[in-house]
Amino acid sequence: MDIERFDPIGDPKYTMRISRLTIDKLGIKLYDRVSAVLAELIANSYDADATEVSVSLPWGVTLAGTVRSAEDPQYRIVVRDNGHGMSAAEVNAHYLMVGSDRRLRTGSDLSRERGRPVMGRKGIGKLAAFGICRTIEVITAGSSPADRRPQGWAVSHLVLDIDEMLSDTERDYHPRVGELDGTFTTHRGTTVVLRDFYRKRVNSGPELNRQLAARFGIERTDWRVEVHNSAVAAQAESFILSDLPVDVMEETRVDVSTRPVRSGRQYLPVTGWVAYSRQPYRDEAMAGVRIYARGKIVAQTRDFDIASGFTGEYKLRSYLVGAIHVDWLDDEEDLVRSDRTDIMWNSARGEALAVWGRELIREIGRMGERSIRRRVWEEFRERSGIQATVDAIAPNDRLFRDSVLEAARILVANKDRAALDDRSHVENIVRLALSLGPQRSLLATLAEIAGESDQGLDTVVALFERARVAEMYSLGQIASERVAVVDRLSRLIDDRRSLERPFQELIESAPWLLAPEWTPLGMNESLTRVRAGFERWYAQKFGQTLVTSSIGSRKREPDFVLLHDSGELWIVEIKRMDYHLTDEEYNRAINYLYALDTYLTENPAIGTQFPRRRLTFIVDHIDRLRPASRSSLDSDARIDRRTWRELLDSTLRAHRDFLERVYAMRGVDEDPAAGRQAV
């Protein structure tokens, strides 16, 4: 019975029909980028031994949407090649055959006439265009000398329409025959015209250039692709597809041809290079390592999936670039994923390549880190002119110069070059370096933080920048300010008739006379509040008005001057030159100190900001003090006294290096210390 059903001469009993809906599912939707579609068409021309390909499309436009009005331009994308073309029979056997492996079909993985390693394999590339348009028109003539007629080469002209193709998936699809079909031509070659686009964006010329260049890694003299802009009819605008120009740090370039990939017992050849780019590439086409098989891009990776935690990691992902040729990814075995966006990394060869890549990355990461730092530093030196600045400020103080440069080096270590484009940022770094440089211990701490992590230093630098230390500490400003103050102090001291007021004003405006380490760290506001609060509190408590500042109190001499220095409130009692402090004045000042204590205890919110308080007398003589007062002065660590000369001397001593530099810079012999010694 079974035998009866067997019909050896009729139509095949069983037929497997591949629905054309699979075409839709084959992944053409993935080709929504114009550049990716162009790449497939160009690859086909290459495989057909073309030496010239001309692509024409409107740059920088949005191809028409699904709903079109009559005024909408009827855009076309045309790819024309001078390859061997196809005969009508070949159109049927090759072009209209979906998903047939050309290397099996033709029995070779080399092109027919020029022996190029062909890029095509899967038999689906031509369908890519349906990712962006509905109509593909093919005009082709060729292909082998035997096909040539006396009139020339017979032209095949067919129009594929995706909607027609998918409307009836049961029967065979017969593309419409175009008007040129059956005519003859003197030249072989294939022209593909795309029409009826979806809403797709065509990039600008330069972007298109980069994207296309990134897709191919072919270096041959018999291959030239020119891409024309059809949006500007009048002037000819075009580019020639060439190598992607990537600006790399030459010293980090690794030629990979000397390091084959180990896969089991085999060593598989690779060629190309990997390096650090001079600037981080945000452009997708340029960033990362492009992997080519047979001249066509098959994958792109920024890190070969390396795990975190290696030297230089921080910058690697933004700086790593390369182009490597790995033909064995597309040899006997097809390791390119069918969506063509990546390779199968989990295959044996894929894994071997990943292991190889990670090893390479570790090595280049170490190299790159050093190079980037060096480069950013060089560029910073150039742009900031910091060398000239320190040379001018401190021609004879090598230690100072080195330590400012060292500070700058630490500050720029974590910057990338883009940060140096900001002029004011560069100026800030210079200023910050000038103020940090001389603070050796701070510098050491910074270096330590910098060594630990990039982020930590960032925070510290941001903090400094926010606190505007840099600006306030601009050396030029400090220099002239301090020199002027020192000069004025010397003059006041020399003029024995000077009254208290000018001294008070001077000390108040230049608290560093008392404490060379004093920094203007943004506490002035809280000091104003403390002053006001304390004066009000004092008036209520003792029924007396107090004046704690010489600034803005024209009517009255201040009772004392109140200063602050990082967590410290400082009562400064200033008496004019040659003055003899009285017991009464001494006790009154001490009472101010205790009143201040009480005030701050009663107002802990303010008090905790200034946990330390002290009292300093600047007065030349204390011979009129009673023994009790003297002993309190000697024993109370919070109370001290200086004479005017001591003050000037200690200021000069503390600022000696500094002032020397300034005077040297001015080239004038006006060192007040020199004059003083003679007195």
Ligand X SMILES: Nc1ncnc2c1ncn2[C@@H]1O[C@H](COP(=O)(O)OP(=O)(O)OP(=O)(O)O)[C@@H](O)[C@H]1O
- Report CA-CA distances (Å) from 36 to 31, 362, 484, 560: 6, 32, 70, 80
Decide if 158 contacts 138 (C-beta within 8 A). yes
Question: Shortest Cβ contact with ligand X: which residue?
Answer: 120
**Residue placing its CB nearer to Mg ion in the complex, 125 or 437:** 125
Supply the Cα-derived Rg of the chain in whole angstroms: 41
> 301: part of which helix (H) or strand (E)?
strand 296-301
Q: Is 86 in the site for ligand X (CB under 6 A)?
A: yes
Distance in angstroms (rounded) separating the CA atoms of residues 328 and 356? 14
Nearer to ligand X, 228 or 575 (CB): 228
Instruction: Name the packing angle between helices 454-467 and 423-436 (round to 10°).
Output: 90
Task: Tell which one of 31, 59, 75, 95 touches ligand X (CB under 6 A).
Answer: 95
Q: What is the contact mask toward Mg ion in residues 617 to 656, using x (rule: CB under 5 A)?
A: ----------------------------------------
Parallel, antiparallel, or unpaired for β 238-240 and 224-229? antiparallel
Percentages of the chain per state (helix, strand, coil), in multiples of 5: 45, 20, 35
Considering only residues 60, 117, 123, 178, which one is a binding residue for ligand X as defined by CB under 6 A? 123
Residue with tokens 């004479």: 643
Nearest distance from C-beta of residue 193 to ligand X, angstroms: 12
Q: Does 295 bind Mg ion (CB under 5 A)?
A: no
The Cα 589–Cα 612 span in angstroms is: 17
Residue spans of beta strands (DSSP E) within 319-440: 320-325
> Which lies closer to Mg ion via its Cβ, residue 44 or residue 414?
44
Nearest residue to Mg ion, by Cβ distance, number only: 125
Residue 398 identity? R
- Which of 35, 87, 190, 389: binder of ligand X (CB under 6 A)? 190
Q: Which of 42, 51, 189, 190 is nearest to 128 (CA)?
A: 42
For Mg ion, which is the closer residue by CB, 122 or 366?
A: 122
Tokens 């301090």 sit on residue: 482
- Our finding on whether 125 is near ligand X (CB under 6 A) is yes
Q: Which amino acid is at 238?
A: S
Number of residues that bind Mg ion (CB under 5 A): 3
**Out of 76, 80, 94, 661, the residue judged to bind ligand X by CB under 6 A:** 94
Q: Is residue 260 a contact residue for ligand X (CB under 6 A)? A: no
Among 44, 156, 263, 389, binds ligand X (CB under 6 A): 44
| Closest to ligand X by CB, 119 or 376 | 119
Tell me the C-alpha distance between 279 and 286, whole Å. Answer: 11
In terms of CB distance, is 44 or 263 closer to Mg ion? 44
Tell me the C-alpha to C-alpha distance, in Å, between residue 185 and each of 18, 46, 154, 157.
36, 21, 7, 12
* Per-residue 3-state assignment (H helix, E strand, C coil) for 31-53: CCCHHHHHHHHHHHHHHCCCCEE
Kindly tell me which of 123 and 520 has the beta carbon lying closer to ligand X. 123
Residue 131 binds Mg ion (CB under 5 A): no
Closer residue to ligand X (CB): 102 or 613: 102
Which listed range, 118-126, 411-419, 453-461, 554-562, lies at the site for Mg ion (CB under 5 A)? 118-126
49 binds, among ligand X, Mg ion, none (CB under 5 to 8 A by kind): none
> How many positions of this chain bind ligand X (CB under 6 A)?
19
Q: Per rule CB under 6 A, is residue 45 in the interface with ligand X?
A: yes
Residues 429 and 407: their CA atoms lie apart, in Å, by: 9
133 versus 386: smaller Cβ distance to ligand X: 133
Choose the one of Mg ion, ligand X, none that binds residue 364, judging by a C-beta under 5 to 8 angstroms depending on kind: none
Decide: is 81 part of the binding site for ligand X (CB under 6 A).
Answer: yes
Angle between helices 398-412 and 440-452 (to 10 degrees): 30
Residue span 493-512 as binding mask against ligand X, x where in contact by CB under 6 A, dash where not:
--------------------
125: contact with Mg ion by CB under 5 A: yes
Determine if 48 is a binding residue for ligand X (CB under 6 A). yes
* 364 CB-near residues (< 8 Å, 6+ apart): 252, 254, 274, 275, 276, 312, 316, 320
Please, what is the minimum distance in Å from the beta carbon of residue 45 to ligand X? 5
Binding at 550: pick from ligand X, Mg ion, none (beta carbon under 5-8 Å per type): none
Q: Is 312 in the site for Mg ion (CB under 5 A)?
A: no
Q: Give the chain's largest Cα–Cα span.
A: 141
Please tell me the total number of residues recorded for the chain in this structure: 679
End-to-end CA distance of the chain: 137
Taking the complex as a whole, the smallest distance from the CB of residue 125 to Mg ion amounts, in Å, to: 3
- Based on the shown chain and the rule CB under 6 A, indicate whether residue 126 belongs to the binding site for ligand X: yes
Query: Which of 20, 102, 278, 415 lies at the binding interface for ligand X (CB under 6 A)?
Result: 102
CA distances 375 to 74, 80, 125, 409, Å, are 50, 45, 44, 11
Question: Between the CA of residue 239 and those of 44, 50, 243, 323, 567, what are the distances in Å?
Answer: 20, 18, 12, 21, 67
Among Mg ion, ligand X, none, partner that 272 touches (CB below 5 to 8 angstroms by kind): none
Instruction: Tell how strand 612-618 and strand 639-642 pair up.
Output: parallel
120 binds Mg ion (CB under 5 A): yes
CB 9 within 8 A of CB 318: no
Token pair belonging to 639:
């109370």
Q: Which of residues 27-56 bind Mg ion (CB under 5 A)?
A: 44
Q: Of the listed pieces 79-87, 262-270, 456-464, 644-652, which binds ligand X according to CB under 6 A?
A: 79-87
Q: Is 175 in the site for ligand X (CB under 6 A)?
A: no
Applying CB under 6 A, does 607 fall inside the site for ligand X? no
Q: Is 548 in the site for ligand X (CB under 6 A)?
A: no
> Using CB under 5 A as the criterion, which residues of the chain lie in contact with Mg ion when the complex forms?
44, 120, 125
Q: Which residues bind ligand X (CB under 6 A)?
A: 44-45, 47-48, 81, 83, 85-86, 94-95, 102, 120-126, 190
